[in-house]
Amino acid sequence: MKIPKPKKKISLRSAIRVTSRDFAEFIKTRDCLSTSGSMEMGKCYTCGKFFTRYELEAGHFLPGRHRSILLDERACHIQCILCNRTLMGNPDAYRMRMMADYGQTVIDEIEKMNRLSRDYTIEELIKLRRDFRARTACLILRSIGQISW
């Protein structure tokens, strides 16, 4: 009799890593399409210059990649490498854009969340990952006119 292999268990750390990767792809797709109409180009949230998708990163509003806002789409936008890495997020410009796009109430909420620690479960991360992948697919299909909603 063949003994079934036990299902490979995914660690919380790797679940966070893969979910963050799909979250970043969602952010890049969302922001490239909204700023250039194309998946291949996008406008950096903080310096306003256009770059190819491969020169853009999903940059967080607040540093530290704190878990409670790690996957909050309001706190993450495409940034060029100069702004995201060299200028460490270009925080003054980021805050000004956040103020214009979301307002002080949302900024306060995100800053409050960032002070709280949040523990995800693997099931939660799997669900979030599925949602981000589905939403990315919807954005792509909409951009090429395959769906109209």
Applying CB under 5 A, the span of 21-29, 80-88, 92-100, 136-144 interacting with Zn ion comes to 80-88
Contact 92, 101 (CB under 8 A): no
Choice from 15, 32, 58, 80 touching Zn ion (CB under 5 A): 80
Strand runs (DSSP E) across 29-139, as ranges? 41-43, 50-52, 56-60, 76-80
Closest distance between Zn ion and the C-beta of residue 138, in Å?
A: 27
Q: How many residues bind Zn ion (CB under 5 A)?
A: 4
Q: Which is nearer to Zn ion, 76 or 128 (CB)?
A: 76
Tell me, what DSSP letter sits at residue 73? G
Applying CB under 5 A, the span of 41-49, 66-74, 98-106, 140-148 interacting with Zn ion comes to 41-49
Residues contacting residue 77 through CB under 8 Å, at least 6 positions apart: 27, 31, 45, 58, 59, 61, 94, 97
Closest distance between Zn ion and the C-beta of residue 43, in Å?
A: 9
Contact 19, 125 (CB under 8 A): yes
Q: Which is nearer to Zn ion, 27 or 83 (CB)?
A: 83
Tokens of 33: 């399409």
Choice from 15, 16, 44, 56 touching Zn ion (CB under 5 A): 44
d(CA 7, CA 14): 16
Closest distance between Zn ion and the C-beta of residue 83, in Å?
A: 3
Tokens of 1: 């009799």
Closest distance between Zn ion and the C-beta of residue 58, in Å?
A: 13
- Residues forming contacts to Zn ion in the complex (CB under 5 A) are 44, 47, 80, 83
